[in-house]
Structure 1
Amino acid sequence: MTDQQVQYNVGGMSCSFCAETMNEAYERTDGVTDVDVSLAHEELLVQYDDEAISEVEIKDVVRDLGYTIRDPDKQKRFEQQQQELEAGKRHLWISTVASIVSLLLMGVMVARNGWNVFAETDQQWMWYGSLALALVTMFWPGRYIIEKAYNSLKRGIFNQHVLLEAGAFAGLAGGLLGWFVYPNFPVVHFFVVSTFITTYHILSEYTSLVVRTRASRAVNDLMDLQPDTARRVTEDGDSEAQSASNSSSGERGDPRETVEDVPVDELEVGDQVRVKPGENVPIDGEVLSGESAVDESVATGESAPIDKEPGEEVIGGSVNETGALLVEVTASGEDAFLNQVAREIEEARAMKPGIVQLADRVLKYFVPGVLSIAALAFAFWAIVPAVSSGIGLGSGPQFRTGAYAALAALVLGYPCALGMATPLALIRGGGQAAKRGILMRSGDAFQIFPDVGTIVLDKTGTITKGEPAVNTVVGVSEHDEREVLRTAASAEVFSEHPLADAVLDRADARDVEFPDPEAFDSVTGKGVRATVDGAEVLVGKPGWL
């Protein structure tokens, strides 16, 4: 016996029922020793004995249930997810149109019956129309639901697809009973029910896919802060090759340096990379040479850039604002800051807080329970009035009432809201928090928030807007506030520093006009020196001034 482990990204999951369906299917598969399904990650992890079952058979279980296995490549997987979104949107449009037309038919019928919502029509064109709409909805956009329900039933699994189709086909059966068996039985009402609940299921699955896709994009947006490539600097002693490499890359570093563009994933601890002004720092490291202001708000929330000198650390994904830096890599791969953040977000999404675990336990018995209640409701009205008619407690089998009761149980017992609402709320919440720089370490954090009375923050940068702004301008001796602002803005016109932008924004907001300086020089890490109206002006750190 040799245990193997495989992991797949699965498409088509919408709620906890889907995860539970796959769990049950693999638990009943010979050769599978363990299985773990994550709705948040849309991932399946299977451990199996390769002498008893092959990997092809492992994949077939997923596909037989009606789900898909996505490509392991991230870009192709993203494209497949977009295709699923487009298909879901197309199914939703078709079913929505059918539901709207069905609703209009119902409105016409109610109006013709004096606004009696319980009355039925004898107009057969309405019967044909509502039946056609039900069949189109169930067997065109809803065909995949029927296939999933059939495949689940083959394995003895009762899930949301089985319950939905039980309700949809019960609606068809009820309408046909009224058409051919019981006079005055609600034909249109039953057919329309089949259309409505199928549309609702398609809407639920599409909503689930949109929520999970947006939550995943929050993590992708975070990882996009890291550039795909970095300029790695090496010294190999081959002066001609080094010179050619430097010339082709446009670098003006040490002529003994070789600078090459490499994927960030190939960087190792100890490598040296060069970062130009305006670029994102590709990876965590320590400054070897150069001085610059670096915007680290992605990690700290602080709006003001941090001045970096040799010996200080920089964080991957932060923005190098002013000077060129030579950085030595101190962390790579999964140890890098952005990768750690992304992993923690994913782990938080995958965790199941107590409320989700409770919902999962309920779902195991929910569908069999609803089907049993529907069957008992029909049996009650079919049997009890019949056997008790002789003693004055009934008047014979009440099949019509039994059909009503059974259909009501099937329709109102539709479970996707139960299996979807709680986990999707947590997934969506985690994604929204990530977009705002808030990392949720566990799903339980969402549950305890209503009970939080006090929040302690370690620094003000945590709650700033992330953009520096001038708060106060103080006049000096004979120079009033407007003159101080005019002089500072003029000196900062050609500066690329974010604090210079804040000064210029303040001047614009106060309608202060300022000329371009006659001379300008930027002193990296300290400030600017300019000539304004013939006078030398320094703007920068107090110590430098």
Structure 2
Amino acid sequence: MGTTRRQFNVGGMSCSFCAESIEKAYRRTDGVADVDVSLAHEEVLVQYDDDRISEVEVKDTLRDLGYTIRDPDKEKRYEQQQAELADGRRRLLLAGSAAIVVAALMGWMIVVIGRFESASLAMDLFALALALGTMFGPGRYIIDKAYQSLRRGILNQHVLLEAGAFGGLLGGFLGLSIFPGFPTVHFFAVSVFITTYHILSEYTSLTVRTRASQAVQSLLDLQPDTARRVSDDGEVEEVPVDDLEVGDRVRIKPGENVPVDGTIVDGTSTVDESVATGESIPEEKAAGDAVIGGSVNETGTLLVEVTATGEDAFLNQVAREIEEARAMKPGIIQLADRVLRYFVPAVLTIAALAFVFWLVAPLAWGAGPNVQRGAFAALAVLVLGYPCALGMATPLALIRGGGKAANHGILMRSGDAFQIFPDVDRIVLDKTGTITVGEPAVSEVVAFDGTEDDVLAVAASAEAFSEHPLADAILDRADERGVAYADPEAFDSVTGKGVRATVDGDDVLVGKPGWLADEGIDLSSVVDEIERLQHRGLTVSAVVRDGDLVGLIGIGDEIKVDAAATVRRMHDAGITPVMITGDNERTAEAVAEEVGIDRVMADVLPDEKREEIGRLQDEGHRVAMVGDGINDAPALTQADIGIAIGAGTDIAIESADIVLMGDRLGGVMDAHEIGRESYRKTRQNLGAAFAFNGIGVAAATTGLVHPVFAMIAMVLSVSAVLANSFAGQLLSGEGVNTDFTVEGSDTDGIIEEGVTADQAVTS
């Protein structure tokens, strides 16, 4: 027993008020030590004392507040999200229909019969039925949330909304029972309108969030469902991976995914471990070497002894790190959120004081209590005080920025991408697939006998039957240069060393210099050349024909054409670039030197990448991380801003705040500039929204603002914020449509057809 940490995926959160309400509720719960709420990912991470509070009680707190706890199974969770979306759509249909009917009723009263006050009791009762039906039908869940919040002493948007809705009911009842001539229908209409508006807002948010990717599940799908377990007497049995235990032995054939973490007992092979290291060149593996579940066995058959299963396995650890880092990810406290903490109680207080004032103040000049004016004042304050413009100020600016980013092939997936990015002073870049292309390619050919094309022709002929990625690189370069080569008469692959072949009657060896030296080839005269290529971070293959050294081929991961220019832009913006990679130090230093990066961290594993990001943050830096692989995902979630290369893996993309469509690295600084501009627009919108609410509430206290007109004013305030957000974009001809295609990029699984910038920003 003791401190326990539990993470929940929560349904029903729609804005920062929801996150704050959950935090307040838990902080006021005995036994809860800490809580982190991620609105962007709808996750709550709770730390509590088992001796003082049970897990059931922890969950009940969320449920009492009106939120749902989704199933841990991601497929079931997605089904629950779809069900929530269907419920939201039904609520909106019902509430929207009532709003249309009551609006038509008001219009008919004013335009056709020329009366502002109620025309008949039947009309009043009809409006009452619409109000009660909307509030206690599709809007019942809002009442429940408001009640549970009030019960815990939490004043939030649900409390404010219901104060306005019930205030409308009260005003209508006063007209029905006490004050003839009251605009009863209009008071009931306010209850319908503000309830419908809130349902619409929550449905829009839910629609965006329901598009959550199944990337973490895709990560776990890399691990096969079954494995071939080998018994002590040599019998082979196919069993579910979940049934394997530490010490079991499994057989893995060429081309299969490694089912578990383990150690090779017998066999040699090349293994693609990019799932862990991100490096494009497979590792040579033999007895005694470790293999990682999810990696790909390429050439030989392996017998592997299981060393880790279940939650201790590599893929499960990465998935857990991603989800925990995502839930605990530090975020910016927006100016709007800080003000809204005091805004709701202030509005409620002002509304109550305004009502009391118009009951008491007229007595001072010899008049009776002005109930109608007091009711108008209180209800108008509640309507004008509802933080609609404030709530829209930030999203609208981000939608505008998201549209502009989309036109540059950049997907901005969170508010932090706009609000934190301008303050970033360290950008950490993965090497493979980020600074480099991510695929092995021939970088240099050194000829000792004949031309470079002659060396390629001999090597390509020898490697024609090989399936090794280095062989593919040699064949690709030969094809690019139009070099003719023939199939070998004889071929033998020496695992982990190279190939031996007969080409046009000549004995040809292509492979590691060390192996060729063991074969009796004298390389003493070219040691300096080999070291030069290796210093550049290249893998060297020597080409020998009939015992004579023909040439050397340096194979590496080519640097992207815009990498050096992007690093210069970072320096110019006052940002320090840092390279972090799972590759060896020599290769990392060579790449960093070529692009202009001074600080390099090499031989770093996925969990260590996350730790390095954390250290930079502890030093007081704002950190952005750029990566493309599964091994980058924990670091992407830990960073203040995670930036994924869109041509990378789904799990990296899901973990990021910004996705660069395609593989252009320059988009990092484009996103930085767009984020800075959008944040400036956000501050302008917030200033306008605060001014509207301040002036509007003050005017409403006079009792001269009709509640319906207050609703119209609230709509106009949103329109003003909208105009400020998009006027420059529309005038410049950029447009708001953000459907786009990036040539040469693979966007499948990243965005859905027809997804617009407003969806992209908040997804």
Change (3 A) 1:131 1:229: farther
Corresponding position: 1:281 with 2:258: yes
* Maintained 8 Å contact 1:298/1:317: yes
Q: In structure 1, how many angstroms separate the alpha carbons of the residues matched to 2:309 and 2:108? A: 70
Shift of 1:210: 3.1
How has the CA–CA distance of structure 1 residues 8 and 412 changed in structure 2, closer, same or farther, with 3 Å as cutoff? closer
Q: CA deviation at 1:320?
A: 1.9
Aligned equivalent of 2:224: 227
1:364 Cα shift? Answer: 5.7
* Inter-partner Cα distance in structure 1 for 2:341 and 2:87: 31
Secondary structure, aligned partner of 1:355 = coil
Q: CA deviation at 1:402?
A: 0.5
From 461, 468, 474, the equivalent of 1:497 is 468
SS of equivalent to 2:206:
helix
Distance in 1, Cα, partners of 2:150 & 2:141: 14
Residue of structure 2 aligned with 1:42, choices 41, 44, 52: 44
How far does the alpha carbon of each residue in 1:73-124 deviate from its partner, in whole angstroms, 9 at most, with x for none?
x43x64145223322244136516854895798699889999xxxx979999
TM-score scaled by length of structure 1: 0.66
User: What is the SS of the residue equivalent to 1:165?
Assistant: helix
Q: Does residue 159 in structure 1 map to residue 156 in structure 2? A: yes
1:316 aligns with 2:293: yes
Residue 66 of structure 1: CA displacement? Answer: 3.1
Report the secondary structure of 1:39's partner residue: strand
Could you say which residue in structure 2 is the equivalent of 1:303? 280
Partner of 2:280, secondary structure, is: coil
- Higher mean alpha-carbon deviation, 127-136 vs 155-164, is at 127-136
- What one-letter code is carried by the residue in structure 2 that aligns with 1:182? F
Q: 1:319: Cα distance to partner?
A: 1.9
Partner of 1:435: none
Q: Which whole-Å CA distance do the structure 1 matches of 2:276 and 2:437 have between them?
A: 14
Matched with 1:197 is 197
Cα distance in 1 for partners of 2:371, 2:153 equals 35
> Would you say the 8 A contact 2:12–2:66 is kept in 1?
no
Q: Which residue does 2:268 correspond to in 1?
A: 291
Distance 2:305 2:427 in 1: 37
1:395/1:372 CA distance change after superposition, 3 Å? closer
Aligned to 1:464: 436
Q: Tell me the equivalent position of 1:12.
A: 11
Match of 1:412 among 378, 387, 392: 387
Q: 1:533 to 1:83 in 2, by over 3 A?
A: farther
Residue 524 (str. 1) matches residue 495 (str. 2):
yes
Q: Does 1:210 align with 2:210?
A: yes
SS in 2 for 1:95: helix
CA contact (8 A) 2:45 2:328 kept: no
Contact conserved, 1:233 with 1:273, CA < 8 A, in 2? yes
Residues 153 and 289 (structure 1), Cα distance of their counterparts in 2 relative to 1, 3 Å cut: same
Q: Distance in 2 between matches of 1:538 and 1:133?
A: 86
| Structure 2: distance between partners of 1:26 and 1:456 | 35
Q: How far apart, CA to CA, are the structure 1 residues paired with 2:440 and 2:106?
A: 64
Instruction: Give the AA of the match of 1:497.
Output: H
Structure 1 unmatched runs, 5+: 250-259, 426-442
Count residues with an aligned counterpart: 487
The 10-residue stretch of structure 1 (511-520 or 287-296) with the greater mean CA deviation from structure 2:
511-520
Which residue in 1 is equivalent to 2:245? Answer: 267
Query: In the aligned structure 1, how far is the partner of 2:466 from the partner of 2:116?
Result: 78
In the TM superposition, residue 340 of structure 1 has moved relative to its aligned partner by 3.6
Q: Distance in 1 between matches of 2:444 and 2:105?
A: 68
Q: 1:144 matched to which residue of 2?
A: 141
The answer to whether the 8 Å contact 1:529/1:538 transfers is yes
Q: Give the whole-Å Cα distance in 2 for the aligned partners of 1:130 and 1:277.
A: 73
Query: C-alpha distance in 2, partners of 1:532/1:389?
Result: 113
Change (3 A) 1:278 1:103: farther
Three-state SS of the structure 1 residue aligned to 2:386 is helix
Query: Contact (CA 8 Å) 1:370, 1:410: kept in 2 or not?
Result: yes
Q: CA separation of 1:292/1:3 partners in 2, compared to 1, >3 Å: closer, same or farther?
A: closer
2:377 equivalent among 372, 383, 402: 402
Give the stretch that moved more between structures: 33-42 or 314-323: 33-42
The answer to whether the 8 A contact 1:177-1:185 is kept is no
Distance 1:19 1:516 in 2: 65
Q: Which runs of 5+ in 2 are unaligned?
A: 400-414, 513-540, 545-763
Tell me, yes or no, if the aligned pair for 1:160 and 1:414 is still in contact at 8 Å. Answer: no
Residue of 73, 87, 91 corresponding to 2:88: 91
SS state at 1:42 partner? strand
How far apart, CA to CA, are the structure 2 residues paired with 1:107 and 1:539? 83
In the other structure, the counterpart of 2:328 is: 351
Q: Is contact 2:354-2:377 (8 Å) kept?
A: yes
Q: RMSD across aligned C-alpha pairs, in angstroms?
A: 5.5
Q: How much does 1:322 deviate?
A: 2.0
- Greater RCO (CA < 8 Å, at least 6 residues apart): 2
Task: Verify the 8 A CA contact 2:95 2:192 in the aligned structure 1.
Answer: no
With over 3 angstroms needed to count, the CA separation of the structure-2 counterparts of 1:155 and 1:354, relative to structure 1, is closer
Q: Is the 8 A contact 1:280 1:319 kept in 2?
A: yes
Structure 1 Cα separation of the partners of residues 82 and 197 of structure 2: 20
Q: Secondary structure at the match of 1:261?
A: strand
Decide whether aligned partners of structure 1 residues 524 and 87 sit closer, same or farther in structure 2, where only a CA change above 3 A counts: same
Aligned partner letter, 1:279 = E
Q: Which amino acid aligns with 1:267?
A: E
Residues 297 and 352 of structure 1: CA distance in aligned 2, closer, same or farther (over 3 Å): closer
CA distance in 2, matches of 1:446, 1:337: 33
Amino acid at match of 1:198: H
Contact 1:34–1:47 (8 Å) recurs in 2: yes
Aligned to 1:440: none
Query: Separation in 1 of the partners of 2:299 and 2:449?
Result: 33
The verdict on how the C-alpha distance between 1:540 and 1:311 changes in structure 2, with shifts beyond 3 A counting, is same
Task: Give CA deviations for 1:168-217 in whole Å, capped at 9, x if unaligned.
Answer: 44455567778974359856963563254222442265157537x44xx4
Instruction: Give 1:39's aligned amino acid.
Output: V
Closer, same or farther in 2 for the Cα pair 1:98/1:505, shift >3 Å? Answer: farther
Question: Paired residue for 2:608?
Answer: none
Give the match's secondary structure for 2:259. coil
How far has the Cα of 1:323 moved from its partner?
A: 1.9
Name the SS of the counterpart of 2:198 in structure 1: helix
CA contact (8 A) 2:254 2:297 kept: yes
- Cα distance, 1:267–1:406 mapped onto 2, change above 3 Å: same
Distance verdict in 2 for CA 1:482–1:297, change over 3 Å:
same
Residues in 2 aligned to 1:530 and 1:132: alpha-carbon distance in whole angstroms: 89
* More divergent stretch after superposition (310-319 vs 535-544): 535-544
Q: Aligned in 2, Cα 1:306/1:55: closer, same or farther, shift over 3 Å?
A: closer
- Letter of the 2:49 partner, please give it: Q
Equivalent of 1:375 in 341, 345, 352: 352
Once the 2 structures are TM-superposed, how far is the Cα of residue 143 of structure 1 from its aligned partner?
2.8
Hey, what's the Cα distance between the residues in 2 that align with 1:506 and 1:128? 82
After superposing the two structures, state which structure 1 stretch, 226-235 or 168-177, moved more. Answer: 168-177
* Distance in 1, Cα, partners of 2:484 & 2:186: 78
